[in-house]
Amino acid sequence: MVDFALIFPGQGAQYVGMGKDLYQQFPAAKVIFEKANHVLGFDIAKLCFEGPKEELTRTDICQPAILTASIAALRALESVSPLSGQLTPKAMLGLSLGEYTALVAAGSLTFEDAVSLVRKRGQFMEEASRQNPGTMASVIGFSLEETKKVCADTGAEIANLNSPGQIVISGAKEKVEAASNLAKERGARKVIPIDVSGAFHSSLMAPAAQRLRVEIDKIEIRSPKIKVVANVNAGYESSPEEIKANLVAQVKSPVLWEDSIRFLSGAGIKRYIEVGPGKVLAGLLRRIDPQLECFNVETAADTTAVKEAIGG
């Protein structure tokens, strides 16, 4: 059995229709959507399946929606190929919001607490965005050192280290625009503005982090049963207090995705299962290391394919 890790998508992976066939074909997935509806007090399943896209894209909606669709996909996979014994993942990690999904999958957070928490996280991020307006951009074909220099010269901040040659910057609009122009002048292949409502993973999210800490302190967080890699330091997080601190810091700190994958790859994990909507993470993995293998579980058909691939 080849060691494998589960990876979970973040904001931006959402699309209208996600999770619908899982809901229809797997009772275990249906239960997750029904739990989310109950906890949130509105029909998030209907928003996932039917939209409208504009509402599903809202930060405070898409965060619980993606978490719900991802855990539904995981429960569907477990129902055809129990992730236990030989099929226990060696580690789990998620991109930004996806870290909460990983913590649910690892038994550190209950699904109910997580879906309520990420709903609030989205609300706090939206409110921080109104308080401190900002934006983000993806810098392509530019080194980390050069990007750091550009940020130092303009006041923009590094938000995501996704893969080689793809770095996301964040901050006040004028600072991100200045950094984008300077990066292009200094040789970046291209800079792509990101359609987001705020400067996520930057110091402008400090008000959201403060409010999130209050909410995180209200819920029980247990030590994960399976190792979880933290976004903020690309290492394993284990104690409940460490997890709480990392989740608070994560809102206003860079996401070290490339470093996280290299950390696991260096530990011998070469196979990954992206669980949830979209294939963004599979694309990043290919750019980080073409030798890594990645499967996706976002539809009913995927569960069978992955079961066969991992020997379930």
**Domain endpoint, select from 170, 194, 218:** 194
CB-CB contact of 288 with 163 (8 Å): yes
- pLDDT tens sequence across 227-244: 999 999 999 998 999 999
CATH of the domain at 12: 3.40.366.10
Same domain membership, residue 138 and residue 125: no
pLDDT at residue 80 is higher than 90: no
Q: Is 201 a catalytic residue?
A: yes
Same domain membership, residue 225 and residue 162: no
Amino acid identity for residue 134 in this structure: G
**Per the structure block, which two tokens stand in for 3?**
């060691």
Structural domain boundaries enclosing 144 = 134-194
Same domain membership, residue 111 and residue 42: yes
Same domain membership, residue 113 and residue 17: yes
- pLDDT tens sequence across 91-129: 999 999 999 999 999 999 999 999 999 999 999 999 999
Same domain membership, residue 177 and residue 125: no
Annotated catalytic residue: which of 108, 170, 201, 253?
A: 201
Same domain membership, residue 65 and residue 27: yes
Same domain membership, residue 297 and residue 223: yes
**Domain endpoint, select from 163, 194, 225:** 194
Same domain membership, residue 174 and residue 256: no
Same domain membership, residue 164 and residue 110: no
The helix/strand/coil state of 299 is coil
Name which of 141, 132, 295 is nearest 200 in CA terms: 132
Annotated catalytic residue: which of 81, 96, 170, 253?
A: 96
Four-point Cα dihedral 169, 175, 14, 208, nearest 10: 100
- pLDDT tens sequence across 177-215: 999 999 999 999 999 999 888 999 999 999 999 999 999
Kindly state the helix (H) or strand (E) to which residue 155 belongs, with its residue range: none
- pLDDT tens sequence across 9-19: 999 899 999 99
Same domain membership, residue 168 and residue 301: no
List, in sequence order, every beta strand (DSSP E) within the chain.
4-8, 91-94, 135-140, 157-163, 166-171, 190-194, 227-229, 236-237, 271-275, 293-297
**Domain endpoint, select from 156, 174, 194:** 194
Looking at 167-271, list the stretches that DSSP marks H as alpha helix, in order from N- to C-terminal side.
173-185, 206-216, 240-250, 257-266
Domain count, the chain: 2
pLDDT for res 298: 94
Same domain membership, residue 148 and residue 35: no
CATH of the domain at 171: 3.30.70.250
Instruction: Find the mean pLDDT for residues 122-149.
Output: 96
pLDDT for res 126: 95
The CA distance from 209 to 232, in Å, is 14
Measured CA to CA in angstroms, residue 303 lies from 26, 214, 276 at distances of 11, 38, 11
Does residue 224 have a cis peptide bond before it, meaning omega lies within 30 degrees of 0? no
Same domain membership, residue 301 and residue 289: yes
- pLDDT tens sequence across 245-283: 999 999 999 999 999 999 999 999 999 999 999 999 999
